[in-house]
Amino acid sequence: MNEPLPATAPRSRKKLIVTVIAIALIACYIASPYFSFWRFSIALRDGDSQAVGSHVDFPELRASLKKEFRERFYPALKLEKPKKKDRLQQFLQGIGPSLIDTAIDAYLTPDGIALLLANPKISATTNPAKLGEATTTEKAEQARRSIDWSKVRYAFFTGVRDFLVDVNGTKLRFRLSLDGWRLRAIDLPDDFVTR
């Protein structure tokens, strides 16, 4: 004769299903920034501006780079009373940040990101205003081909919504938003200004 199944069988089956679903969701969450970075690198390599744009938060990225460039090129003056020759330096430091802002606004496009990742080091003698000169398609194509993704040192979570990828000293910071993982900041290497 058939004996009825114990009442705990349906409960244990529900727990198993919930556990499997939870594990699958966690695995998808953990894998998602790696997959998104891979799609970003493919879009960058292929020169697909629209796809690159869908992986980049341009307003946040521009703000981040403007701040970084200002701090590197125009550190705050610590003068109590400026001397006559220091006034010129103060004037240049006063207009320098606006030059940087203009340059980054013009430079930071999908092609500009490719150029930056291909060669993040610039000369200290580079005029920050020239950073904004229009990039040519040929230069951008060469840059896209020269990005060596095999130089990714590490990629890991830095927070629940933050993910960091280190490409040979250049750190790409992604943040999870409603649109998925998007590049929001690039930390250039400490030696990005060469002498």
Q: Express each pLDDT in 175-193 by its tens digit.
A: 999 989 999 999 988 776 5
Give the mean pLDDT of 122-139: 50
Torsion of CA 46, 129, 62, 166, to 10 degrees: 60
Q: Which of 4-8, 10-14, 91-95, 159-163 has the lowest mean pLDDT?
A: 4-8
Between β-strands 122-123 and 193-194, what pairing exists: parallel, antiparallel or unpaired?
parallel
Rounded Cα distance between 167 and 149, Å, is: 7
Q: What angle is formed at CA 84 by the lines to CA 83 and CA 89, rounded to 5 degrees?
A: 85
Place of tokens 């998602």: 32
**What is the chain's mean pLDDT, rounded?**
78
pLDDT at 88 over 50: yes
Q: Report pLDDT digits (tens) over 133-152.
A: 444 566 667 777 777 788 88
Give the mean pLDDT of 113-137: 58
pLDDT at 94: 63
pLDDT at 189: 83
What values do phi and psi take at 126, rounded to 5? -65, 135
| Residue 165: count of CB within 10 angstroms of its CB | 21
pTM of the model: 0.72
Structure-model confidence comparison of residues 53 and 5, the more confident one: 53
Give the mean pLDDT of 28-37: 95
pLDDT at 126: 47
Q: Is 133 helix (H, G, I), strand (E, B) or coil?
A: coil
Give the mean pLDDT of 95-100: 69
pLDDT at 124: 39
Q: Read off the tokens for 3.
A: 């004996």
Between β-strands 193-194 and 152-157, what pairing exists: parallel, antiparallel or unpaired?
unpaired
Place of tokens 């990225």: 61
pLDDT at 86: 66
How far does CA 167 lie from the centroid of its chain? 10
